[in-house]
């Protein structure tokens, strides 16, 4: 009896378990749920997320990838409503195209204690053409509100067997159950690539599969008569099936100093290594970056475009006319492309419309603009090459693949160094790339088909030099002036953020940035003189950072420039710490003491160092009794630190914040 009872309970448990992870099964309890059982602050959660990718036989197309994805999502808060919108990339390459269809897409709400179901209609589906290589299929689920449960399924059919879509088990919201299954015939060999820290249960098995193939044969049956005869044949092969699953996946927390958190979440991808059909020789696929680079370079939309001439020579001759040095020619061509061409916002390594067409209409994607730059530089006599990279948003490539790259810049070999150029941003300068393009390692492609790694991380130190001078008033105000000089990436960031702003908008923005101070006589210099540092200066009134209590005045010497909180708040961290670029910030602060007051307390000078000056912070005070001077220097001499450094780094930043928060105390005489 006891065994029967246990068996019954086991069957009931597994039945409910199976139902829980199927579409179309929404309960009143799910709709009433107001918060996630584990992560109370979650804005939404995925009740389940499943993907099944198979290589299946099609009589018309042969083997193709078929991916079925099912998602069921619970919305807890207004911020979670964004998960009701979803988009999928669809690839197109020559005659090879992916197709996608959505089904079982519904929104469920609780109305008068009854479940109300709203189906996705055609007006909730959208197609957005990115370029000739990619299209976005989007859906916007209907009638979604806080408390809703939404579900959808899509089927993606793809001829690109070498690149099954990667699967991520972790997201910015918790996932109760995530599953990925990959099935493929014995003719194919794939290597799996894991990323992330979570333990995913993996099982493998092999099954025999029989495919019935429809054969067509055209036969002459008489004079001018041809008939089509149909017959069936069967073939059997072993199918390899790999299943990955994980329960109760915690959400990924956004962290400071992480370029793309997707690089570190737990996920799986597969690389096609070889194909071996019966009675045929083995076909090996790109297994090295050299082979990938050679394949890309030989493409008509890449190397083929670079070889086309006869449409730009006269213009480029005019651009470099009178320029004798290679540096002057480089800058002239670079400035011409930046100021003449307009980036349409799309990435890509392939020319979309062709460089000749782009030369006429002056608008194109990343490849159109930067491949044009390479061609023009070569014509000017410079040793220029395209450089393939994966943008920050595209992540870090884990294995050699054509699909690993989605961005191309230019590299010029000059005086024994490689100068990197991106003409999609008019404020970029040589070796100062937009943040989206600074992602570890790129690959420079030579005309002979060879390639070589190139470091994308900045090597020059970007400076922020500040002179801050002010006097303290007895009623608790600071009246003073600031002059700041920004170089390299600091200057680029300033220009990119404020370059198109009116003076009024810029002043308002800076007042807010500097914690609601009042600014007058604002001047910015060298906004468009890209070879010079950006200089900003202004007078200010600050009554927000000084306290008058009784006969004493309290203030932190950096006022509105000080750090008020430690950016590292988490107890632990699983991701590396990625700094945007090496930097050196220097502050010279001069403070005039009001008449009738004397200095009661000045913080002690102190020097902080992290890992042999990979990071360093110096804080030096001097005073003559009537004034106080502070010299502060903050340096970052590293691009990335491993997560093993987190606790010590967190402590280092906390000491920095505390030091900058230390107050000078003035006492009435």
C-beta of residue 596 within 8 angstroms of C-beta of residue 475: no
Residue 436 structural domain? 289-455
Contact assessment for residue 463 and residue 490, using Cβ atoms and an 8 Å cutoff = yes
Q: Is residue 27 part of a domain?
A: yes
> Would you tell me how many other CB atoms lie within 10 Å of the CB of residue 523?
10
Looking at the structure, tell me whether residues 394 and 356 fall in a common domain.
Answer: yes
Each residue of 370-425: pLDDT tens digit? 999 999 999 999 999 999 999 999 998 877 888 889 999 999 999 999 999 999 99
Q: What is the DSSP letter of 432?
A: B
**Are 443 and 471 in a shared domain?**
no
357 and 419, same structural domain?
Answer: yes
322 and 411 co-located in one domain: yes
Residues 419 and 500 in one domain: no
In this predicted structure, the answer to whether residue 95 has a pLDDT above a threshold of 90 is no
Quick one: pLDDT at residue 228? 65
Higher pLDDT, 17 or 108: 108
Would residue 253 count as lying in a domain?
yes
pLDDT computed for residue 99 by the predictor:
93
Neighbours of 420 (CB within 10 A): 24
Residue 283 falls within a domain, yes or no?
no
Element (H, E) at 367: helix 366-379
What angle separates helix 326-340 from helix 366-379, to the nearest 10 degrees? 150
Distance of alpha carbon 506 from alpha carbon 537, whole angstroms:
12
Strand 597-601 and strand 664-668: the pairing is: antiparallel
Position 501 in a domain: yes
Of the residues 436, 455, 474, the one at which a domain ends: 455
439 and 570 in a single domain? The answer is no
Residues in the chain: 669
On whether both 502 and 523 belong to a single domain, the answer is yes
Cross-strand partners of 471: 479, 592
Checking if the pLDDT of 129 tops 90, the result is no
CATH number at residue 209: 2.60.40.3140
SS3 for 655?
helix
- Per-residue pLDDT tens digits for 428-445: 999 999 999 999 899 999
Domain membership of residue 280 (yes or no) is: no
Which pLDDT score is estimated for 289? 84
Report pLDDT for 225: 66
Q: Please indicate, yes or no, if residue 172 is contained in any of the structural domains.
A: yes
Beta bridge partners of 195: 267
Tell me 644's DSSP state: G
Q: Characterize the bridge pairing of strands 175-185 and 44-58.
A: parallel
pLDDT category at 61 given cuts 50, 70, 90 is: confident
Give the angle subtended at the CA of 523 by the CAs of 519 and 525, to the nearest 5°. 150
The predicted structure's pLDDT at residue 224: 62
Q: Which residues pair with 410 in a beta bridge?
A: 386, 421
Residues 486 and 631 in one domain: yes
Read off the pLDDT of residues 338-354 as tens digits, 9 standing for 90 and up. Answer: 999 999 999 999 998 89
Q: What is the dihedral of CA 321, 324, 327, 328, to 10 degrees?
A: -40
The CATH number of whichever domain residue 297 belongs to comes to 3.10.620.30
Give this prediction's pTM: 0.85
**What total number of domains does the chain contain?**
3
Instruction: Single out the residue in 243, 275, 307 at which a domain terminates.
Output: 275
Residue among 477, 484, 327, 499 nearest 428 (CA): 499
* Domain match, 416 and 482 both: no
- CATH number of domain containing 649: 2.60.120.1130
Nearest 5°: CA angle at 72, between 68 and 78?
A: 135
Q: Are residues 354 and 442 in the same domain?
A: yes
Q: Determine the average pLDDT of the residues in 630-650.
A: 95
pLDDT tier, 574 (very low <50, low <70, confident <90, very high otherwise): confident
The beta strands (E) that lie in 112-255 are given as: 114-119, 125-129, 134-140, 149-158, 167-168, 175-185, 188-195, 201-222, 225-249
**Spatial distance between the Cα atoms of 382 and 430, rounded to a whole number of angstroms:** 14
In the predicted structure, residue 223 carries a pLDDT above the cut 70:
no
Q: Quick one: average pLDDT of 27-51? A: 96
**Residue 345 within a domain:** yes
* Domain boundary, last residue among 455, 478, 496: 455
Domain annotation covers residue 493 = yes
Average pLDDT for 120-140: 89
pLDDT in tens, 177-208: 999 999 999 999 999 999 998 999 999 999 99
Residue pair 544/564 in contact by the 8 Å Cβ criterion: no
Q: Are residues 569 and 663 in the same domain?
A: yes
| Mean pLDDT of all residues belonging to the chain | 91
Higher pLDDT, 296 or 333: 333
* Residue 484 and residue 436 share a domain: no
**Separation CA 556–CA 236 (nearest Å):** 78
């Amino acid at each position: 009896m006891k065994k029967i009872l246990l068996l019954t309970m086991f069957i009931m448990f597994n039945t409910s378990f199976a139902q829980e992870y199927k579409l179309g099964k929404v309960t009143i309890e799910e709709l009433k749920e107001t918060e996630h059982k584990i992560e109370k602050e979650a804005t939404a959660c995925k009740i389940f997320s499943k993907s099944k990718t198979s290589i299946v036989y099609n009589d018309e197309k042969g083997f193709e990838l078929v991916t079925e994805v099912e998602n069921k999502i619970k919305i807890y808060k207004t911020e979670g409503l964004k998960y009701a919108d979803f988009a999928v990339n669809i690839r197109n390459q020559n005659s090879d195209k992916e197709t996608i269809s959505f089904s079982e897409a519904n929104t469920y709400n609780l109305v008068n204690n009854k479940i109300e179901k709203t189906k996705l209609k055609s007006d909730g589906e959208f197609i957005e053409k990115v370029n000739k290589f990619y299209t976005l299929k989007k859906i916007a689920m209907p009638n979604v509100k806080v408390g809703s449960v939404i579900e959808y399924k899509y089927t993606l059919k793809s001829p690109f067997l070498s690149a099954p879509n990667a699967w991520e088990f972790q997201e910015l919201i918790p996932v109760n159950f995530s599953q990925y299954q990959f099935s493929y015939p014995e003719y194919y060999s794939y290597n799996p690539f894991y990323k992330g820290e979570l333990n995913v249960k993996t099982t493998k098995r092999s099954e025999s599969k029989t495919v019935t193939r429809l054969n067509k044969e055209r036969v002459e049956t008489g004079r001018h008569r041809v008939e089509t005869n149909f017959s069936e044949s069967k073939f059997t092969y072993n199918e390899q099936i790999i299943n990955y699953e994980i329960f109760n996946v915690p959400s990924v927390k956004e962290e400071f100093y992480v370029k793309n958190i997707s690089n570190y979440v737990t996920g799986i991808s597969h690389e096609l290594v070889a194909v071996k059909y019966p009675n045929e020789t083995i076909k090996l696929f790109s297994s090295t970056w050299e082979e990938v680079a050679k394949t890309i370079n030989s493409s008509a939309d890449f190397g083929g475009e670079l070889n086309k001439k006869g449409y730009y020579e006269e213009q480029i001759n005019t651009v470099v006319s009178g320029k004798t040095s290679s540096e002057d020619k480089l800058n002239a061509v670079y400035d011409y492309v930046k100021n003449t061409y307009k980036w349409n916002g799309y990435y890509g390594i392939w020319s979309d419309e062709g460089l000749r067409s782009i030369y006429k209409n002056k608008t194109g994607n990343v490849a159109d603009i930067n491949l044009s730059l390479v061609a023009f530089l070569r014509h000017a006599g410079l040793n220029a090459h395209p450089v393939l990279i994966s943008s920050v948003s595209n992540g870090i490539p884990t294995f050699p693949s054509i699909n690993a790259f989605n961005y191309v810049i230019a590299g010029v070999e000059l005086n024994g160094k490689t100068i990197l150029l991106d003409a999609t941003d008019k404020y970029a300068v040589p070796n100062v790339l937009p943040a989206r393009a600074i992602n570890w390692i790129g690959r420079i492609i030579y005309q002979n088909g060879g390639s070589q790694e190139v470091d994308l991380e900045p090597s020059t130190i970007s400076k922020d030099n500040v002179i801050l001078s002010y006097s303290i008033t007895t009623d608790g105000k600071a009246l003073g002036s600031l002059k700041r000089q920004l170089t390299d990436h600091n200057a680029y960031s300033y220009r990119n953020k404020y370059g198109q702003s009116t003076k009024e908008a810029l002043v308002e923005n800076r007042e807010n940035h500097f914690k609601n101070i009042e600014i007058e006589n604002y001047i910015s210099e060298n906004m468009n003189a890209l070879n010079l540092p950006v200089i900003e200066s202004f007078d200010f009134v600050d009554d927000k950072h000084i306290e008058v209590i009784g006969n004493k005045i309290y203030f932190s010497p950096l006022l509105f420039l000080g750090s008020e909180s430690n950016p590292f708040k988490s107890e632990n961290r699983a991701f590396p710490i990625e700094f945007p670029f090496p930097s050196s910030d220097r502050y010279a602060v001069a403070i005039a003491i009001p008449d009738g007051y004397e200095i009661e307390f000045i913080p002690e000078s102190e020097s902080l160092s992290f890992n042999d000056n990979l990071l360093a912070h110096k804080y030096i005070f001097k005073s003559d009794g009537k004034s106080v001077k502070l010299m502060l220097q903050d340096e970052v001499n590293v691009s990335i630190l491993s997560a093993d450094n987190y606790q010590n780094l967190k402590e280092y930043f906390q000491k920095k914040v505390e030091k900058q928060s230390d107050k000078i105390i003035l006492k009435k005489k």
